[in-house]
Amino acid sequence: MERESNTRNVKKEVHRFLGVSLLVFFILTQSCVRGAPEEEEPTLPVWVISENPVVEIGAEGDPRYEFHRIVDVTFHKTGSVVVANSGSQELKTYERDGRFSGSFGSPGEGPGEFHDLKGLLVNGDSLIAFELPFRGPVRIHTFRIDSGFLSTSTVRFEEYSQDGASPLAFLSPNDLVVTRGQSFRVVEPPAQGVIVRDSTTLGIFSFLPQPVMHWLGVFKTASLYSFPLPEGRPVSRSVAGYSLGPALVRTVSSGRLWIGDSGDGRITQYGASGVVVSESRYPVAARSFDEAALLEARREAMTDVRSPNGIASARITELYSERLLPRKAPLFVKIHPGVDGEVWVESFSELPHRARDVYVLDRSGAWIAKARFPGGVRIHEISHDRVAGVRTDADGVERVVLYSLGR
């Protein structure tokens, strides 16, 4: 009897110990899950961009100051501003104060003429621009800002890649960032109520010392969704980019290619040979969508819709439907080049016409500053003391706007 009693007591102690241990384990694990603070935003110096433009370039009725379909804006080392205007197929230059100083190129298919102006690079005194005619070879034109046209060269990517390639941007005067295949392709609409990530193969094409293609790999790009088309059309659904979902963003800064995924916050820097130079993580934790801001964004988008039963209305209605909305908002939407290898990462906002936060990485991949972009402006170029962008008014008129930057 005494032995049985001792055995029962030992069992009780074991059960009590196990119960307490499980309780402690549960409390600890819950505190780790619930109580663990999210990654805090680092304390960074704040750089100040002026609230209003210090220079505005653009005027209706004067062809020197009229713009249509601006594809790029950049600064020349003299301080002048260069605008790649695809509407007129020319490069326009302006003094630091916004006065027109000249233009290069014109519509056409001859030397120094553009058929489909796409990209621009300033290299010393030279302006280098490429065009991408539909299903045609890439043509690269070089101008001097003081004397005009210098040369035109043609690149047929089929000679270096079986599937061909399409240029995306200049990495340097001798390197182009490219995507595999033709720039235009048919995309199959995803199933109703489903978001999918498109994909592409990115690479770097180098001209010197001999032409060579460095493929970096396959990357997930934009999020896509489908929406119903009005009755009476050959197909029932169409496809569009899902701006509320994760996407791939990229830019080039001082001969380096930066690629970021707005879903996981990873930003990778590549050298001209395709080697990874650095990897960074966005310094702000993912957040849920602002429902009130989404409703306002939907109302604003619908104000420009002409027909309540048209394609635009169907696209916007599906875009903001709750069944498509992810749990978390994208972390950022664009990456912009700065000086000395910097990149500026623009935060996601449900209302892009409002001012939004931006975080700055240096060439080593370290976060060095925080700033705030003005609302309603597409940012193109950032120097030591200026920020250049494009603002489009309600009538679709484009203007180049320059802001001061205090570091």
Query: By mean pLDDT, which of 3-12, 142-151, 305-314, 365-374 is the weakest?
Result: 3-12
The amino acid that residue 5 corresponds to is: S
* Secondary structure of 48-59 as H, E, C letters: EECCCCCEEECC
- Which pLDDT band holds residue 188 (cuts at 50, 70, 90)? confident
Calculate what percentage of the chain has a pLDDT beyond 90.
Answer: 67
Q: Is 340 left (phi over 0), alpha (psi -120 to 50) or beta?
A: left
Number of structural domains, the chain? 1
| Whole-number pLDDT of residue 10 | 42
Is 26 within a domain? yes
Domain holding 22, by residue range, is 1-36
The C-alpha atoms of residue 386 and residue 50 are separated, in whole angstroms, by: 9
**pLDDT tens digits for 247-291?**
999 999 999 999 999 999 999 999 988 999 999 999 999 999 999
**pLDDT tens digits for 219-250?**
999 999 999 998 878 888 999 999 999 999 99
Q: Which of 330, 336, 332, 331 is nearest to 169 (CA)?
A: 336
Higher model confidence: residue 27 or residue 296? 296
Is 3 within a domain? yes
Report pTM.
0.85
The C-alpha atoms of residue 221 and residue 54 are separated, in whole angstroms, by: 36
Please tell me the total number of residues recorded for the chain in this structure.
407
Is 259 within a domain? no
What residues contact residue 267 under an 8 Å CB cut-off, 6+ apart?
258, 259, 260, 261, 279, 280, 281, 282, 335, 343, 345, 361, 365
Higher model confidence: residue 257 or residue 132? 257
Is 15 within a domain? yes
Is 21 within a domain? yes
The C-alpha atoms of residue 36 and residue 117 are separated, in whole angstroms, by: 51
Report the b/e string of 213-239 with b at 16+ CB within 10 A: bbebeebebbbbbbbebeeeeeeebbb
Is 24 within a domain? yes
Above 50 in pLDDT, residue 135? yes
- Which pLDDT band holds residue 23 (cuts at 50, 70, 90)? very low
| Whole-number pLDDT of residue 210 | 87
| Whole-number pLDDT of residue 406 | 98
Query: By mean pLDDT, which of 13-17, 104-108, 396-400, 403-407 is the weakest?
Result: 13-17
The amino acid that residue 340 corresponds to is: D
The C-alpha atoms of residue 405 and residue 82 are separated, in whole angstroms, by: 19
Is 146 within a domain? no
| Whole-number pLDDT of residue 208 | 82
Average pLDDT, the chain: 88
Higher model confidence: residue 33 or residue 231? 231
Mean pLDDT of 320-332: 96
Q: Is 73 left (phi over 0), alpha (psi -120 to 50) or beta?
A: beta
- Which pLDDT band holds residue 184 (cuts at 50, 70, 90)? low
Is 5 within a domain? yes
